[in-house]
Amino acid sequence: MIHDFTYLKPGTVKEAVAMLSDHVDECKIICGGQSLLIVMRQGLIATDYLIDIKGLKELDYIKYDDKEGLKIGATTTHKSIEKSALLKEKYPVLPIMEERLASLQTRNWGTIGGNLAHADAAGDPAPVLIALDAKIKVGSKAGERVFELGEFYTDLFETAMNHEEMVLEVQVPPMAPKTACAYKKFNLLQNDMGVVGVAVKITVDASGTCTDARVILGNAGVTPVRAKSAEQILVGKKLDEAVLVKAGEAAADDADPVSDIHASEEFRRHLIKVLTKRMARQAWEQAVKLG
């Protein structure tokens, strides 16, 4: 049963952060509620005030500029990202990732800001966005702050935001030439949370040599894990089966998975090896083909 609370619905961001300031330590932000309502029903979270920002149209946008890159407002739905023609052209990995994020109903109502703020290690968007070198902008009555998304997560379901802040925007830099990103999760049921997920971004030069790499693991620790050892193996190399195998092994070593009802630690490490190899190959081949 959900604990009684006072429902607040601000009409602007300015009103929302003022409400946060007035009820600090007594309130929660809801922006779709596809995750928050579940834990509230389970009695894991109780709050006196619930501030609903889902209707804030000023945070519902997908914008792109060749210099500044991509900006996605916090209240933008997963379905908007999945169906965006702009993203299919500029960042195709994002709509592809969204296609298997939860159910159609969840994607229709859930938002990117709510997903990232929930900080579930098994979430799909964070590993992909970290691979894309994304930043996240948060705001409060005192002003705004911007974090590297990879540094935003501090523990399972915990972020670097303080209690007076809310997510405002996701920022992704323009893709470098001959750069591609691939993502895949392994799950037992279609559209379920991933047992593990792997996002790989590869940049190559004219000869096909990898000049930069990002390997980000989802549900392989309490926060998204950057597999730096795997990245080091990929950089400076050309596409080769042996290199991919070594990168997969390194990524599995960099991971810190747990055993639970869904999979053992050993099985998760095996999946990371396989998915890292496959996603690195896919991203590499796509990058080589780019002009």
Residue 84, CB-side half-sphere exposure with 13 Å CA sphere = 27
DSSP states of 177-232:
TTEEEEEEEE-SSTTPPPSEEEEEEEEE-TTS-EEEEEEEEESSSSS-EE-HHHHH
In this predicted structure, what is the pLDDT of residue 43?
A: 86
CATH class of 57-172: alpha beta
What tokens were used for 285? Answer: 């081949």
Q: H or E segment at 125?
A: helix 125-131
Query: How far apart, in whole angstroms, are the C-alpha atoms of residue 12 and residue 134?
Result: 25
Topology of domain 6-52, CATH: 3.30.43
What is the model's pLDDT at position 110?
95
pLDDT digit string (tens) for 21-46?
999 889 999 999 888 888 888 888 88
pLDDT for 255 equals 98
Spans of the chain, pLDDT less than 50: none
CB 276 within 8 A of CB 248: yes
Amino acid 184: pLDDT: 97
Sign of CA dihedral 179, 100, 186, 263: positive
The domain made up of 179-289 is a member of CATH 3.40.50.720: no
Any idea where the domains of the chain sit in the sequence?
Answer: 6-52, 57-172, 179-289
| Structure confidence at residue 257 (pLDDT) | 97
How far CA 279 is from CA of 72, 135, 273, in Å, comes to 25, 23, 10
